[in-house]
Amino acid sequence: MNKKHFLLSLFLLCATVLLAQEDSAQKAAEAAGEGPLYALGLSIILISFSLVFSAVFVALLILILAAVAIFVALAAAGVVSVATLYGFQKRSFSAGFKALLWLVIPATAAVTGWVVLWALNGIFHWNINSEYRLMIGVGGGVLSGALLTVLIIKLAQKIMGWLVKKFTIV
């Protein structure tokens, strides 16, 4: 802290101590006499504080969203790398693709099932406890995601078989 900051702090401290010794009735009369300039100054100070707090809130919100985005990106990279390594181990592109489907679709369906059950519980007032709502939504989502995965794999196999048969030159 340099000399100017120290002297300014000392001056402000002395001014507050001296102003605190004044008569409160006299000070109230002076404040009432200041009128619109006093109100303008107070409003500028309040607006400045609100802008600072708004900026801090927006900065924190951006940091939280960035952290969530990084977490989601790392999780997605982990899922893709696990599916790729499984495909390399099996020496099959289709095995890696199936592993990717088995990892992504049931997990997405589980989250979707929980959100849909939460929304339906709120709309229709079923009064399901939060623990049961979580278990029912996630369980139903995983089961429907597994069925959807099987359906997609079977459908893709049929389509690929048809395409190979149609475009194979014999």
Tens of pLDDT along 49-104? 999 999 999 999 999 999 999 999 999 999 999 999 999 999 999 999 999 999 99
Q: Which has the minimum average pLDDT: 25-34, 53-62, 126-135?
A: 25-34
> pLDDT at position 2, please?
74
Residue 1 above 90 pLDDT? no
pTM score of the predicted model: 0.60
> pLDDT at position 40, please?
81
Mean pLDDT of all residues in 1-8:
68
> pLDDT at position 79, please?
93
Residues 80, 86, 89, 90, CA torsion sign: negative
* Eight-state DSSP code of residue 125: T
Angle at 115 between CA 149 and CA 96, to 5 degrees: 25
Q: Which has the minimum average pLDDT: 37-41, 90-94, 118-122?
A: 37-41
Average pLDDT, the chain: 86
Task: Tell me the C-alpha distance between 150 and 159, whole Å.
Answer: 14
> pLDDT at position 21, please?
57
> pLDDT at position 10, please?
62
- Give the list of residues 6+ apart from residue 123 with CB closer than 8 angstroms, or none: none
Judge contact between 112 and 148, C-beta under 8 A: no
CB burial class (10 A; 0-12, 13-18, 19+) of residue 113? buried
